Structure 1
Amino acid sequence: MQVDLTPHPASPRDGLMVSVDTERRADQLWLRFIVEGDTDAIEWPRKAPAIRTDGLWQHTCFEVFVRTTGGYVEYNLSPSDAWATYRFSGYREGMSPANQAIDVHGLDGGEQYVALEGVIDLPPGATGPIALSVVIEAIDGSLSYWALAHPSDKPDFHHPDSFVLEIP
Structure 2
Amino acid sequence: MQAHRLLAHPAHPPARVTGIEARVIGFDADWLRVRWRIEGAQALVIPPFAGRGRADELWRTTCFELFLRPNGGDRYVEFNLSPSERWAAYDFSSYRDGMADRPASREPDCTMRQGSTFAIFDAAIPADALPQLPADANFAAVIEEQGAVVSYWALAHPAARADFHDPACFTARVAPPRGA
TM-score, normalization: structure 1? Answer: 0.91
Q: Which of residues 78, 87, 95 in structure 2 aligns to 1:91? A: 95
Deviation at 1:9, TM superposition (A): 1.0
Deviation at 1:70, TM superposition (A): 6.2
Contact 1:129 1:167 in 2 (8 A): yes
The aligned residue for residue 172 of structure 2 is 165
Letter in 1 for 2:103: N
Deviation at 1:58, TM superposition (A): 1.0
Query: Could you tell which deviates more after superposition, 74-83 or 117-126?
Result: 117-126
CA distance in 2, matches of 1:140, 1:124: 38
* Residue 36 (1) aligns with residue 43 (2): no
The aligned residue for residue 153 of structure 1 is 160
Task: Provide the identity percentage.
Answer: 35
1:19-168 superposed matches below 5 A: 19-27=21-29, 28-37=31-40, 39-68=41-70, 71-100=75-104, 101-122=106-127, 123-168=130-175
Question: What stretches of structure 1 of length at least 5 have no aligned partner?
Answer: none
Query: Could you tell which deviates more after superposition, 121-130 or 140-149?
Result: 121-130
Report the aligned-residue RMSD: 1.8
User: How many residues matched?
Assistant: 167
Q: Which of residues 9, 17, 20 in structure 2 aligns to 1:18? A: 20
Letter in 1 for 2:100: S
Contact 1:87 1:94 in 2 (8 A): yes
TM-score, normalization: structure 2? Answer: 0.85
| Structure 1 segments (4+ residues) deviating >3 Å | none
